């Protein structure tokens, strides 16, 4: 798949000349404007709306398997009506359960929080905040979306085939995922998973290449790297992580495709399925885990960094104060970016990893606490004694900081290889990564949507619905995931669909019921958000001022509904860093304003 | 806009830069595969493979094609379009020769009895050299486009950026091949 990308990069470079001339003066048809658009803002909206559709699907899956976990005895006849033999007798079958958890993970990690999050905001914010008319290569950018769309189609159709989608967990470890005879979730659904992910990887590589070269090459005059708003730095590090780690996952996926379809044994050895000895010899299943987690761990930061960057910006704007420790923020993001590549084996402590090697990975893992703590400190000190405006975006940002702290602390438990012997593959892990990576990044994404919605659509989201959305989601997230820590400490394993057989876990029956009820409520509130989103596109309160939040960054110097090319006249020149809030008795000083004679530059 | 283009003149062209990042990305994929190879080669049941001699010929072909493409770039810059067309055509032919020789190498291995069953050096070789060949095919498609444009090009802009991007990519695929060959000779035994 990747060769397609390289070809297109070479070909589009070969066609390079006429892409530089697009500034929106020419006539656009419906198709070039809304479908095969090369405008970064439209591509951002395409990513966002596709991401919302996927988030609905992935969220719905979690509601379904929570029904099973909370009410293992109860029959829901509607499930049989909807899903037929997958929910025979109104109860979710084991095969269906595994398919649901696998696709829930895949969809949310990759299709929502990678493509939906950085695809949306990197596309929207990079040209607008660095002062560029579009990406370095708008054509590659368009391809990036359409590869994502193709990946979505393949993944979505895998839900409807007779043997169902992939069902070996989102980490698709072989040998289970390599052998169709081992589980129906490893039949055609798994091939479609791999093909879908290969397309997805091409999409995110094309996007990442563009983000990096746009940030480094297309900044407006005066926009030095240290005058970049923090979301841009975050997107930059995210893109670097993606460009360096996704190809490694692709190599693992290619080897797995060979094992599945062409009889090689890269990951297979000494296997007996249903009493049949398989001929495969000499492979190593652990090898796949290394290849997978070499992507898999940076992937966590690919998800989290854009949220961190946007939260930094939104907190500064809404507490009317400069961001605390701009350089420390950069340094800590850089440190996270480096460390992200050096900790993958902490996912493999119990695979028979050499304990000495394990201790090295423990050290490197715990080191991540240092830049993370710096960032938390800086967010809190930015809020400290600020003149805070509690807009929905600000609330979601504060919620992000809260979740990042609580989820991050449990990471210290799991990063210790000895404690991990007890905690690995329990609900504790589920609680940890959902809070710190899943919900926290979702909060960053919501914050971004509420904050930049006026720029995207020229209208505001409804605030009241926004506050309801925030409070229910915030309280709900803690009610859902906090109790899972207790279950995990008691040893309750993840991925099990029915724990009634264990006396030690039956005490958690009511707790699981509570979690399920809250899950349904939180899901319903997300539907409220989706309603708010689509309703406000057409009927929301109109934006009447160019700079509704009183922010310094360049996107608020564009027209309220910017055309392709962003600025009607010349691109503004930048004279200062983006965080001059409450300076010299002024509420805010935009980046475009020259530094005065009596003023010291930051 | 003039401000920006003034500023960008001093910098590397965005398309070239994008290519360099893409090269970094391709390197990571092959690094992943070759390190998987190293890990596996230290485990039991490892079956080595004898490198077919024909790969030396293909190495010569791709090295020579790099040379002709570099010369094509030089003649493009000197606006000698006749020489440019000739050299880019020659590069295309050499690249197709490379592919044919790779195919012959694969046939040679297959005839030695190296099949897809198993997990030794031979299977890795099929996957890794095959992926490299796909990258070469990508380059050849771009070369063909460039070749056609050299004859039918109506736009009379003498920007050498597309040719430079093409040459950089091609040299990279060339060096990648040399790395893979040396890698297999040293570690694949």
10-residue averages of pLDDT along chain A (602 residues): 40 40 57 86 96 97 95 92 91 94 96 96 96 92 96 96 93 92 91 96 95 93 95 97 94 94 90 87 89 92 96 97 95 96 94 92 95 97 95 97 96 94 95 96 97 96 97 97 95 90 89 96 97 96 94 95 90 94 91 87 76
Chain A contact probe: residue of B2, B20, B29 with most A CBs at under 10 A: B29
- CB contacts, 8 Å: A218 with chain B: 4, 8, 14
Q: For residue A573, which residues of chain B lie inside 8 Å, CB to CB?
A: 3
* Distance (Å, whole) CA A522 – CA A298: 29
pLDDT (0 to 100) of residue A269: 87
Buried b (16+ CB within 10 A) or exposed e, A54-80: bbbbbbebbbbbbbbbbbbeeebeebb
Q: Residue B181: give the domain boundaries.
A: 2-42+56-187
Burial B80-109 (b: 16+ CB within 10 A, else e): eeeebbbbbbbbbebbebbbebbeebbebb
**C-alpha–C-alpha distance, residues A26 and A174, integer Å:** 52
Mutation pick from B17, B25, B168 vs chain A, by most beta carbons of A within 10 Å, is B25
* Closest CA–CA distance from residue B7 to any residue of chain A (Å): 7
CATH number reported for the structural domain that contains residue B65 in this entry? 1.20.120.80
B131 within some domain = yes
Size of interface A-B (CB pairs under 8 A): 193
Q: From CA A53, how far away is CA A59, in angstroms rounded? A: 10
Nearest to A564 by CA among A233, A141, A223: A141
B50 falls within a domain? no
> What is chain B's Cα-based Rg?
19
> Which of B15, B157, B158 to mutate to test binding with chain A, by most A CBs within 10 Å of its CB?
B15
A468 neighbors A525 (Cβ within 8 angstroms): yes
Nearest CA to A596 out of A580, A468, A358 is that of A580
Nearest by Cα to A525 from A416, A392, A428, A369: A392
Using the Cβ of A35 and the Cβ atoms of chain B, whether some distance falls under 8 Å is answered with no
On whether the CB atoms of residues A339 and A366 are closer than 8 A, the answer is no
Least Cα separation, residue A28 to chain B (angstroms): 21
Q: What is the spatial distance between Cα A457 and Cα A15, in angstroms, rounded to a whole number?
A: 32
The pLDDT score that the predictor gives to residue A205 is: 95
- pLDDT for A13: 40
Residue A570 with chain B: CB contacts under 8 Å: 1-3
Tell me which chain B residue has its CA closest to the CA of residue A23: B1
- B139: nearest CA partner in chain A: A7
Quote the pLDDT of residue B157. 65
The string of DSSP codes covering A43-71 is HHHHHHHHHHHHHHHHHHHHHHHHHHHH-
List chain B pLDDT tens, one digit each, 189 residues. Answer: 334 444 444 568 888 889 999 999 999 999 999 999 988 888 877 888 888 899 999 999 999 999 999 999 999 988 888 899 999 999 999 999 999 999 999 999 999 888 888 788 889 999 999 999 999 999 999 999 988 888 886 656 678 888 999 999 999 999 999 999 998 888 876
Record the tokens describing residue A142, joined without a space: 């368009």
Task: Give the distance from residue A582's alpha carbon to the nearest chain B alpha carbon, in angstroms.
Answer: 31
Interface contact B119-A137, CB threshold 8 A? no
Q: Is residue B51 part of a domain?
A: no
Local structure of residue A426 (DSSP, 8 states): B
Locate all alpha helices (DSSP H) within A219-275, ordered by sequence: 230-261
Tokens 């398997």 locate to: A65
From A550, A520, A230, select the one nearest A397 (Cα to Cα).
Answer: A230
Question: Distance between CA atoms of A20 and A13, rounded to whole angstroms?
Answer: 11
Q: How confident is the model at residue A6, as a pLDDT?
A: 43
* Interchain contact, B45 vs A294, CB within 8 Å: no
Structure tokens that stand for A367 in this block: 């080191």
User: A2 contacts in B (CB within 8 Å)?
Assistant: 26, 29, 134-135
Q: How far is CA A338 from the centre of its chain?
A: 19
The confidence score (pLDDT) of residue A482 equals 96
Among B4, B125, B139, which would you mutate to test the A interface (most chain A Cβ atoms within 10 Å of its Cβ)?
Answer: B4
Question: For A453, what's the count of Cα atoms within 13 Å in the CB-facing half-sphere?
Answer: 27
Helix extents (H) in A458-491? 463-489
Domains in chain B: how many in total? 1
Q: Is residue B48 part of a domain?
A: no
CB atoms within 10 A of CB A160: 8
**How big is chain A, counted in residues?**
602
A1-10+34-268+287-297 is classed CATH 3.30.930.10 = no
Tokens at B68, concatenated: 């002709």
First to last CA, chain A: 47
Q: Does B18 sit within 8 Å of A213, measured CB to CB?
A: yes
With CB atoms and an 8 Å threshold, state whether A243 touches B25. yes
* Cα B75 to chain centroid, rounded: 22
B151 within a domain of the structure (yes/no)? yes
């Amino acid at each position: 798949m990747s060769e397609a990308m390289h070809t297109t990069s070479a070909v589009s470079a070969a066609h390079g000349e006429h892409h530089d001339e697009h500034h929106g003066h020419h006539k656009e048809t419906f198709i070039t404007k809304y479908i095969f658009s090369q405008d970064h803002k439209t591509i951002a909206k395409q990513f966002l709306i596709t991401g919302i559709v996927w988030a609905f699907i992935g969220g719905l899956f979690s509601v379904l398997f929570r029904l099973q976990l909370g009410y293992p005895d109860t029959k829901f006849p509607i499930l049989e009506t909807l899903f037929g033999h997958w929910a025979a007798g109104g109860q979710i079958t084991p095969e269906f359960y595994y398919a649901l958890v696998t696709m829930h993970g895949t969809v949310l990690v990759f299709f929502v929080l990678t493509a939906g999050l950085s695809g949306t905001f990197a596309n929207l914010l990079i040209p607008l905040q660095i002062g560029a008319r579009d990406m370095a290569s708008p054509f590659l950018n368009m391809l990036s979306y359409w590869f994502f769309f193709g990946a979505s189609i393949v993944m979505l159709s895998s839900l409807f085939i007779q043997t169902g989608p992939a069902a070996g967990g989102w980490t698709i470890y072989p040998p289970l995922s390599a052998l169709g005879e081992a589980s129906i979730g490893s039949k055609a659904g798994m091939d479609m998973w791999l093909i879908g992910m290969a397309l997805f990887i091409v999409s995110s590589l094309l996007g990442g290449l563009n983000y990096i070269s746009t940030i480094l090459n297309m900044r407006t005059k005066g926009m030095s790297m240290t005058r970049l708003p923090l979301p841009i730095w975050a997107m930059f590090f995210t893109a670097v992580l993606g460009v360096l780690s996704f190809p490694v996952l692709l190599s693992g996926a290619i080897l797995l495709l060979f094992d599945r379809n062409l009889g090689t044994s890269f990951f297979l050895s000494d296997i007996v399925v249903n009493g049949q000895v398989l001929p495969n010899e000499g492979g190593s299943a652990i090898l796949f885990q290394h290849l997978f987690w070499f992507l898999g761990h940076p992937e966590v930061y690919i998800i989290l960094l854009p949220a961190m960057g946007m939260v930094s910006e939104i907190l500064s704007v809404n507490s009317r104060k400069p961001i605390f420790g701009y350089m420390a923020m950069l340094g800590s993001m850089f440190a996270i970016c480096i460390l992200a590549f050096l900790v993958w084996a902490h996912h493999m402590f119990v695979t028979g990893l050499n304990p000495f090697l394990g201790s090295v990975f423990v050290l490197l893992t715990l080191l991540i606490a240092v830049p993370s703590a710096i960032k938390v400190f800086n967010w809190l000190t930015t809020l400290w004694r600020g003149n805070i405006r509690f807009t929905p975006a600000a609330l979601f940002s504060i919620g992000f900081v809260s979740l990042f702290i609580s989820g991050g602390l449990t990471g210290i438990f799991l990063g210790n290889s000895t404690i991990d012997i007890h905690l690995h593959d329990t609900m504790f892990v589920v609680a940890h990564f959902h809070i710190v990576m899943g919900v926290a990044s979702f909060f960053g994404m919501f914050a971004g949507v509420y904050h930049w919605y006026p720029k995207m659509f020229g209208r505001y989201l409804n605030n009241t619905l926004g506050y309801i959305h925030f409070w229910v989601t915030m309280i709900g997230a803690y009610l859902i995931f906090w109790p899972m820590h207790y279950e995990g400490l008691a040893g309750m394993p993840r991925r099990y669909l029915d724990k009634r057989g264990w006396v030690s876990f039956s005490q958690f029956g009511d707790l699981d019921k509570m979690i399920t009820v809250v899950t349904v409520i939180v899901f319903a509130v997300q539907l409220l958000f989706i309603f708010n989103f689509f309703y406000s596109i057409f009927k929301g309160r109109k934006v009447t001022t160019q700079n509704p939040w009183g922010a310094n960054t360049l996107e608020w110097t564009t027209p309220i509904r910017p055309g392709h090319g962003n600025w009607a006249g010349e691109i503004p020149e930048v004279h200062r860093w983006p965080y001059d809030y409450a300076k010299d008795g002024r509420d805010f000083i935009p980046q475009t304003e020259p530094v005065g004679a009596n003023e010291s530059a930051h | 806009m003039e401000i920006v283009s003034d500023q960008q003149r001093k910098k590397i062209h965005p398309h070239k830069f994008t290519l360099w990042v893409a090269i970094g990305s391709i390197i990571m994929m092959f690094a992943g595969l070759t390190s998987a190879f190293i890990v596996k080669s230290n485990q039991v049941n490892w079956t080595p493979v004898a490198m077919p001699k024909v790969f030396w010929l293909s190495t010569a072909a791709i090295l020579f094609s790099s040379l002709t493409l570099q010369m094509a770039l030089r003649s493009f810059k000197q606006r000698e379009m006749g020489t440019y067309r000739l050299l880019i055509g020659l590069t295309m032919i050499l690249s197709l020769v490379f592919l044919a020789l790779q195919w012959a190498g694969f046939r040679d291995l297959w005839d030695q009895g190296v099949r897809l069953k198993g997990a030794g050096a031979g299977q890795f070789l099929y996957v890794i050299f095959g992926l490299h060949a796909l990258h070469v095919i990508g380059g050849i498609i771009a070369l063909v486009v460039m070749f056609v444009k050299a004859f039918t090009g109506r736009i009379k802009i003498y920007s050498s950026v597309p040719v430079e991007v093409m040459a950089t990519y091609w040299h990279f695929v060339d060096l990648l091949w040399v790395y893979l060959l040396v890698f297999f000779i040293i570690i694949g035994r």
